[in-house]
Amino acid sequence: MADDRPIGVFDSGVGGLTVLRALRELLPGESTVYLGDTARVPYGTRSAATVERYAINNARTLLQLADIKALVVACNTATAVALPALHASLPVPVLGVIEPGARAAMGASLGGTIVVLGTAGTVRSEAYPRALHALGHRGDVFARACPLLVPLVEEGWLTGDVPRLVVEQYLRGLPADADVVVMGCTHYPLLRPVLRAALPEPVALVDGAAATARELAALIAERGLARAAPVPTHRLLVTDAPEQLARLSGAFLAVAVEPGEVELVDVVMAV
Amino acid sequence: MADDRPIGVFDSGVGGLTVLRALRELLPGESTVYLGDTARVPYGTRSAATVERYAINNARTLLQLADIKALVVACNTATAVALPALHASLPVPVLGVIEPGARAAMGASLGGTIVVLGTAGTVRSEAYPRALHALGHRGDVFARACPLLVPLVEEGWLTGDVPRLVVEQYLRGLPADADVVVMGCTHYPLLRPVLRAALPEPVALVDGAAATARELAALIAERGLARAAPVPTHRLLVTDAPEQLARLSGAFLAVAVEPGEVELVDVVMAV
């Protein structure tokens, strides 16, 4: 059994490229289509009903334009808010970033407090504490909003004093028994070296992107959805500003992309 | 002649509170009504047509709810995009933040390059270079986007190493003949001490908020619109998250505000 259709990935912007990168590294034989809804970014400040509508638009766009065989929601806000609606309305398997990240955090914890770093929207949504407790985590969860990290990453300031001091400030005053820190935002893996250096050695640093890629790989193997055809293809779609995604792709995707390779599309609005 | 109606001020969010603060300090006898369109922030990433529509919504809301006698558009994006439409459709005088800031910059320049610091949206709009050239400025204009400054201010990180290093980074490589730096974003006056310390002594640091307040004071005096009644009143309106504006008001407005004092309103949608 084989399925040569691509894997679809969407995010509100460019951050989901770190999830795409993890997917492409773990599943090098698979084709992918990424949709960055850059015209409507950020999702974190919008109402749940609006985010759900945007998520459905994005999913239908990937189905119509690229006939995807599975969907990864590479956006914490959309995962927190719209996953049930996507599961209910799509004809393909759907995976979010939060549950894999939470599961990986539990696997790494020795019973101490799990710390979640995220945007203000993700922290406010309480999606990680909810997911952790639903998975049976009995310890404490401590979530900290880190609003400076996304603009820091998008500026490309990934080394030197500024990111070091910003990260140290955000990690100040964590619970003494913290043994896991989850990067609960798709931008944060670019700051992994800075975060790692600022954390005491025994604290595990968990990447939701990598965990999501592993769970998708398992799902594809289980359901016999692996691609058999040679030479996979990769498409990048955005709803605005293709040049911005191209500019950031070197850092986020670890692949240099020309602006002409990024396709500008309209989302499918009809439900 | 007197006019006891309040002055209306709107912004996409909380940044315009620095303009409101300058107004209240310069015109302590005037009543004010501030509208922060926090449900639809940020404007910088939206299309011109959408920003124009939002600006008209906000202006009509202030007219209907508070019967304002003059409107200050305390938002660089809305000023850049919607000022002509507001002038054309409102029955009261309208003032934006860009022209006063540009005029103050010209007054402070000795013929060198005028540097404008702003958000990516404001820099991309080229509103300051356009305003400066329209006002007759013959020198160069150098605009630099500083995306980290807004989240830095909203985090309340206004002193210490992080803001100092971030500001130094953004001021690196300015033209050698720069003699004026304009704070082209309503958040930046909160970083004035940091910006001042990072600039060589002869470079003037211009605040669009203060310049806007001065021009409004002149307009009110000229047109005989000054308030005569005693004890002015001040209202704060938002379209979402009153507690957030209350939390930031100490820093932005230099007035402590309780969440209960901030009114949640719907904008008037009909044109």
Q: What is the DSSP letter of B270?
A: -
CA–CA separation, A106 and B49 (whole Å): 47
**B166–chain A nearest CA distance, Å:** 7
Query: pLDDT tens-digit profile of B150-191?
Result: 999 989 999 999 999 999 999 999 999 999 999 999 999 999
pLDDT value for B271: 45
pLDDT value for B270: 53
Burial label, A218 (beta-carbon count in 10 A; 0-12, 13-18, 19+): exposed
Q: For residue A38, give the chain B residue with the closest CA.
A: B45
Given A151, A154, A161, which is nearest B165 (Cβ)?
Answer: A161
CA–CA separation, A79 and B203 (whole Å): 48
Residue with tokens 């406010």: A124
**What backbone torsions phi and psi does residue A84 show, to the nearest 5 degrees?**
-60, -45
Whether chain A has a CB inside 8 Å of the CB on B144: the answer is: no
For chain B, list residues with pLDDT below 70.
270-271
Residue with tokens 């990024």: A262
The matching CATH number, chosen from 3.40.50.1860, 3.40.50.720, 3.40.50.1380, 3.40.630.10, for A98-208 is: 3.40.50.1860
Residue A212 in tokens: 């999501």
CA–CA separation, B210 and B97 (whole Å): 9
pLDDT value for A50: 87
- Mean pLDDT, rounded, for A125-140: 94
pLDDT value for B44: 77
pLDDT over 70, % of chain A: 99
**A40–chain B nearest CA distance, Å:** 8
Given A147, A165, A240, which is nearest B165 (Cβ)?
Answer: A165
Size of interface A-B (CB pairs under 8 A): 34
Q: What is the DSSP letter of A194?
A: H
Flag whether pLDDT at A178 surpasses 90.
yes
Which among A162, A185, A247 is the top mutation candidate for probing chain B, defined by the most B β-carbons within 10 Å of its own β-carbon?
Answer: A162
Whether chain B has a CB inside 8 Å of the CB on A155: the answer is: yes
Q: For residue B164, give the chain A residue with the closest CA.
A: A162
| A264 vs A40, more confident | A264
All residues of chain A having their beta carbon less than 8 Å from the beta carbon of residue B147 are 151, 154-155
Q: How many CA atoms lie within 13 A of A132 on its CB side?
A: 28
Q: For residue B169, give the chain A residue with the closest CA.
A: A162
Domain borders along chain B are 7-96+211-264, 98-208
User: pLDDT averaged over chain A?
Assistant: 94
Confidence grade of residue A44 (pLDDT, cut at 50, 70, 90): confident
pLDDT value for A270: 53
**β-sheet bridge partners, residue A118:** A145
Is 3.40.50.1860 the CATH classification of the domain at A7-96+211-264? yes
Residue B119 in tokens: 């958000």
- Mean pLDDT, rounded, for A217-246: 94
Residues whose CB falls within 8 Å of the CB of residue B153, separated by 6 or more in sequence, listed in order = B187, B188, B190, B191, B251
H-helix or E-strand containing B209? Answer: helix B208-222
Query: pLDDT tens-digit profile of A75-119?
Result: 999 999 999 999 999 999 999 999 999 999 999 999 999 999 998
